[in-house]
């Protein structure tokens, strides 16, 4: 993978961010044919996010993104496909996480799984603490709410035994 | 007395017919004899006309003879009738005489009988009066006897009544004693049965109370369980809320990371 693409991908941690960038890429695809032969970064000046603009510029500098609209379009399509192919992890937590924490989680996944993952994040205070995780059809509840329920049920079953 | 009755008339007619038949038969015999002698005497043949004339002549003779007979019979029967009538008249007179004589005799006898009856009646009346007197006497005697009997019966009845009263009193006393005895037996039995029934009812009641107590205990336990469950659920809810609020951000992050580490072992 090219370094600019890697750097760009590093910025995408959550599903919300992914949707945001996919929309930007679709917008860029539309813009590719609108103003004839020109650099994509120029065509989309002031119309796209800073991160996306920087990514296009870096790619243009490396010569990977020409002025040819068709080439621009197919490049953008490849990027979209790549982003959509990234594995998704559903994560339910009890608090609103900071960006740094999200980055840490993403990094942890990359280190542990050896690949970039997209976090489909849900904030649910009812789970008290911890997390409920779903990855490729596997679901696990590591929440404190479950722990409390378990404790209560154990107590109740203990009481019923007597 | 009339001698010519229906029966006599038949008799005379029958007699006349017999006589007539006999006469006819005699005549026929005479004719036959005459013919025989004539046949024996005259061996000559007679013509048919002569035969017929002779036959007619004979028949005429027979008819004349028969008429004569008829007249004679009538004459005889009239004479007989007259004779009988005369005889009847005489008999009638005789009967009248006899009857008057008999009636006289009968009236005489009737007078005698009436006298006898009167005498008998008088005697009967006397006997009747005697009988009446006797009846009155008897009635008086009967009445006296009745009064005496009534008095005796009354006395006897009084005695019997007093006896019956005595018996009644005794019977009543006996009955009262018997009833008392039976009542005592019944009372004993009843009290025994009542005690038994009471015991059964007490046992059943005790059983029911035990069951009810058991049910109450079970219900109590159930309710307590439910209450405990509710308390625990409430505790859980409270704990979740308080713990959730009490946990700071760094602890949250730590818990998430711990969850991820656990997941790494089980899921990833």
ipTM of this complex > 0.95? Answer: no
| Judgement on whether residues A7 and A81 belong to the same structural domain of the protein | yes
Closest-CA residue of B relative to A125 is B244
Last residue of a domain, one of A64, A85, A106: A85
Q: Is the pLDDT of residue B245 over 50?
A: yes
| Judgement on whether residues A79 and A92 belong to the same structural domain of the protein | no
- Give the C-alpha separation, B254 to A104, whole Å: 12
| Judgement on whether residues A76 and A105 belong to the same structural domain of the protein | no
Q: Is the pLDDT of residue B36 over 90?
A: no
Distances (CA, A) of A118 to A23, A56, B87: 16, 21, 188
Query: Mean of the pLDDT values across residues B131-138?
Result: 86
B258 contacts in A (CB within 8 Å)? Answer: 130, 142
| Judgement on whether residues A94 and A157 belong to the same structural domain of the protein | yes
Interface of A with B in 22-81 (CB under 8 A): none
| Judgement on whether residues A97 and A116 belong to the same structural domain of the protein | yes
Interface of B with A in 218-237 (CB under 8 A): 225, 228-229, 232-233, 235-236
| Judgement on whether residues A103 and A141 belong to the same structural domain of the protein | yes
Residue B151's pLDDT is 92
Structure tokens at A57: 């510029």
The candidate with the shortest Cα–Cα distance to A32, out of A64, A76, A94, is: A76
Tokens 């103003």 belong to which residue? A35
Mean pLDDT of chain B: 86
- Give the C-alpha separation, B230 to B222, whole Å: 12
Last residue of a domain, one of A85, A108, A128: A85
| Judgement on whether residues A105 and A46 belong to the same structural domain of the protein | no
Question: Among A16-20, A21-25, B43-47, B257-261, whose mean pLDDT is lowest?
Answer: B43-47
- Give the C-alpha separation, A84 to A44, whole Å: 22
Residue B220's pLDDT is 92
Is B91 exposed, middle or buried, given 0-12, 13-18 or 19+ CB atoms closer than 10 A?
middle
Enter the pTM of the model: 0.49
Is B6 exposed, middle or buried, given 0-12, 13-18 or 19+ CB atoms closer than 10 A?
exposed
A158 at B interface, C-beta within 8 A: no
Which segments of A88-143 does DSSP mark as H helices, in order?
Answer: 99-113
Domain region containing A53: 3-85
| CA A121 to centroid of chain Cα atoms | 10
| Judgement on whether residues A26 and A95 belong to the same structural domain of the protein | no
Confidence tier at B42 by pLDDT (50, 70, 90): very low
| Judgement on whether residues A130 and A76 belong to the same structural domain of the protein | no
Residue of A126, A133, A138 to mutate, interface with B, max B Cβ within 10 Å: A133
Please tell me the total count of domains within chain A: 2
Residue A128's pLDDT is 93
**What values do phi and psi take at B171, rounded to 5?**
-60, -40
- Give the C-alpha separation, A117 to A110, whole Å: 7
Q: What is the per-residue pLDDT across A36-59, written as a single tens digit (0 to 9) for each? A: 788 888 888 888 888 888 888 888
| Judgement on whether residues A37 and A108 belong to the same structural domain of the protein | no
Q: What is the per-residue pLDDT across B144-182, written as a single tens digit (0 to 9) for each? A: 988 998 899 999 999 999 999 999 999 999 999 999 999
| Judgement on whether residues A21 and A73 belong to the same structural domain of the protein | yes
Burial A11-44 (b: 16+ CB within 10 A, else e): ebbbbebbeebeebbeebbebbeeeeeebbbebb
Q: Is the pLDDT of residue B1 over 50?
A: no
| Judgement on whether residues A75 and A10 belong to the same structural domain of the protein | yes
- Put simply, the answer to whether B257 touches A108 (Cβ < 8 Å) is yes
B240 at A interface, C-beta within 8 A: yes
Last residue of a domain, one of A65, A85, A105: A85
Distances (CA, A) of B64 to A61, A138, B13, B69: 210, 179, 20, 9
Give the contacts of B217 (CB within 8 A, at least 6 positions apart): none
């Amino acid at each position: 993978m090219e370094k600019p693409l890697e750097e760009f991908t590093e910025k995408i941690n959550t599903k919300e961010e992914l949707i945001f960038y996919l929309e930007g890429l679709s917008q860029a695809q539309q813009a590719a044919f609108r103003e004839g032969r020109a650099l994509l970064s120029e065509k989309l000046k002031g119309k796209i996010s800073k991160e996306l603009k920087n990514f296009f510029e870096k790619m243009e500098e490396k010569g990977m993104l020409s002025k040819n609209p068709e080439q621009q379009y197919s490049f953008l399509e490849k990027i979209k496909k790549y982003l959509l192919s990234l594995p998704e992890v559903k994560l339910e937590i009890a608090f609103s996480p900071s960006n740094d924490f999200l980055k840490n989680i993403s990094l942890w996944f990359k280190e542990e799984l050896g690949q970039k993952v997209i976090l489909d994040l849900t904030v649910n205070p009812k789970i008290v603490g911890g997390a409920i995780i779903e990855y490729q059809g596997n679901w696990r509840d590591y929440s404190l709410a479950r722990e409390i329920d378990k404790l209560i049920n154990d107590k109740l079953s203990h009481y019923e035994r007597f | 007395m009339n001698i010519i009755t229906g029966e006599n008339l038949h008799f005379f007619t029958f007699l006349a017919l017999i006589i007539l038949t006999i006469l006819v038969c005699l005549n026929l015999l005479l004719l036959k004899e005459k013919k025989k002698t004539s046949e024996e005497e005259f061996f000559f043949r007679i013509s048919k006309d002569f035969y017929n004339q002779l036959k007619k002549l004979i028949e005429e003779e027979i008819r004349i003879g028969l008429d004569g007979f008829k007249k004679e019979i009538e004459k005889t029967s009239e004479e007989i009738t007259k004779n009988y009538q005369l005889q009847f008249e005489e008999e009638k007179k005789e009967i009248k005489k006899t009857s008057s004589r008999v009636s006289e005799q009968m009236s005489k006898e009737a007078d005698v009988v009436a006298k006898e009856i009167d005498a008998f009646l008088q005697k009967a009346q006397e006997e009747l009066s005697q009988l009446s007197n006797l009846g009155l006497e008897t009635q008086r005697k009967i009445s006296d006897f009745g009064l005496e009997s009534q008095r005796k019966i009354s006395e006897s009845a009084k005695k019997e009544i007093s006896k019956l009263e005595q018996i009644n009193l005794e019977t009543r006393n006996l009955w009262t004693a018997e009833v008392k005895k039976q009542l005592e037996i019944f009372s004993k039995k009843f009290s025994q049965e009542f005690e038994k029934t009471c015991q059964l009812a007490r046992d059943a009641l005790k059983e029911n109370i035990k069951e009810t107590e058991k049910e109450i205990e079970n219900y109590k336990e159930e309710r307590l369980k439910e209450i405990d469950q509710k308390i625990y659920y409430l505790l859980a809810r409270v704990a979740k809320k308080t713990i959730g609020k009490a946990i700071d951000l760094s602890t949250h992050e730590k818990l998430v990371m711990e969850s991820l580490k656990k997941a790494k072992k089980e899921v990833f």
